[in-house]
Amino acid sequence: MAELRFYTGPMDSGKSTLALQTNHNYASRGLAGRVFTAHDRAGQATVSSRLGLTHEAIEAGPDFDFWRYTVDALTQGARIDYFICDEAQFYTTGQIDQLAKIVDELQIDVYCFGILTDFRTKLFEGSARLVELADSTQLLQVETLCWCGKRATHQARIEDGVMVTEGEVIVVGDTEDPARGGRVPGFDGPSVVTYEVLCRQHHRRQLTAARARAVSLSAEPLPFG
C-alpha cells in the first residue's frame, strides 16, 4: 500500500539532503518519480542541500494542483511511482489534501520534507495538515545545535541583525551568508533577512549568538566545536 510520509526537523537537520538521497535511491532501482519544492533558497524549481547538492524540481506554488498534474501525466502515459515533496511546510492545506488523495486513490508513495514551525513558533499550514493526515511523521535524527550547545528546536528570523517575532510568514533567507538573505515584502529599505536555529529558551529570550557575544555570555558560541 502506498503511504504519505512526513519527515520533519528544524533548519540544518538534513531534510533536503534526505529528500535528494531518497530520490537517488529510488531512481537507481528503476522507479520513476517526481521532485517538487516551494520557495527553496536556491531559487525556483530547485531542491538544494546545504551540503551543496542540488536537483531540478517542479515548483509547487500556491495555485499548483497536484491532483490535476498527476492525472494529466498518467493519462498521457507517464509512469509515476513516487513523489518527493521538499519544503512541504509552504504547501497549502488543499495541496496536502491532494497529496493524500494521490496516495489513497492512485497508490503513489508521497514523501514530504519540511519544517514544523515558523519563526513565530507557530505551525506552518502545510506541516499542520501533514501532521493531521500523514501515515507516519518522523523527526530527523540529525540534531542541530543552538549557539549554547543545546539541541536547537526553533527557527529565529533576523532582520538587519535584530531578531523579530512578527511579520510575513514566508520570507526566504539564509542561515550562513547574510549576503544571500531575503528581503521583507513591502519594506522600502535594504533589509537583509537571515535565519538562526535556537533552543526554546534562547528563542523565548530572543538571545541569538551575536547578541550573546555582545553581552559576553560566551566568548565562543560552541566551545567544544
Q: Given 56, 59, 87, 105, which residue is catalytic?
A: 87
The residue extents of the domains of the chain are 4-139, 154-214
What per-residue confidence (pLDDT) applies to 214?
Answer: 87
C-alpha cell, 199 = 533552543
For 4-12, what is the mean pLDDT?
Answer: 93
DSSP string, 92-137: -HHHHHHHHHHHHHH--EEEEEE-SB-TTSPBPHHHHHHHHH-SEE
Confirm if 92 and 62 have CB atoms less than 8 A apart. yes
Residue 184 has pLDDT above 60, yes or no: no
Residue 80 has pLDDT above 70, yes or no: yes
User: Which tens digit of pLDDT belongs to each residue from 93-137?
Assistant: 999 999 999 999 999 999 999 999 999 999 999 999 999 999 999
For 201-209, what is the mean pLDDT?
Answer: 95
For 26-31, what is the mean pLDDT?
Answer: 96
* Lowest-confidence region among 6-10, 96-100, 181-185, 202-206: 181-185
What per-residue confidence (pLDDT) applies to 13?
Answer: 87
Asked if the 4-139 domain carries CATH number 1.10.390.10, the reply is no
Residue 183 has pLDDT above 50, yes or no: no
Confirm if 33 and 81 have CB atoms less than 8 A apart. yes
pTM: 0.81
87 is catalytic: yes
